[in-house]
Amino acid sequence: MLVDDHELLAHSLRAALGAEGFEVVVPPGLTDAEVLGHAEGLRPGIVLLDLHLADDERTSVGLIGPLCDLGATVVMVTGDTHRHRLAECIEAGALGWVTKAEPFDHLVEAVRGVAAGRQLLGVSQ
């Protein structure tokens, strides 16, 4: 499952990851209730989660624990490289992060690794 507030990016990533053999679903809504409701029905193995949904004030850190409780492995995909915020994500249960500044093949490699059970802390410049 891919949760990002930039529709063009979300749907482009869905198509590109789909071409790499991954089944990727983008939930129709971005509120916490909508994301969690969709995840409850879907039970995704991996969730690629943007740290900032809709605005820079609210983060998606509060979604990490409930998504993990549903059995998902959460990987943050974010443009935010602030170490304190990334540490909050790890504390909340995220496996790691990939920055949006990285080449696409780094994201694909990270998703492949997570799907294979490998650890991921961070992929960033």
Nearest of 63, 95, 75, 60 to residue 22 by alpha carbon: 75
Q: What is the pLDDT of residues 56-65, one digit of tens each?
A: 677 999 999 9
List the domain boundaries for the chain.
Answer: 2-123
pLDDT over 70, % of the chain: 95
For 97, phi and psi rounded to 5 degrees? -150, 160
Alpha carbon distance, N-terminus to C-terminus of the chain: 25
Whether the model clears a pTM of 0.85, i.e. scores above it, the answer is yes
Question: Is 2-123 a domain of CATH 3.40.50.2300?
Answer: yes
Q: What is the pLDDT of residues 66-79, one digit of tens each?
A: 999 999 999 999 98
Distance, in Å, from the CA atom of 42 to the CA atom of 27, rounded to the nearest integer, reads 10
List of E strands, 15-64:
46-49
Cα 13 to Cα 18, 20, 123, distances in angstroms: 8, 10, 17
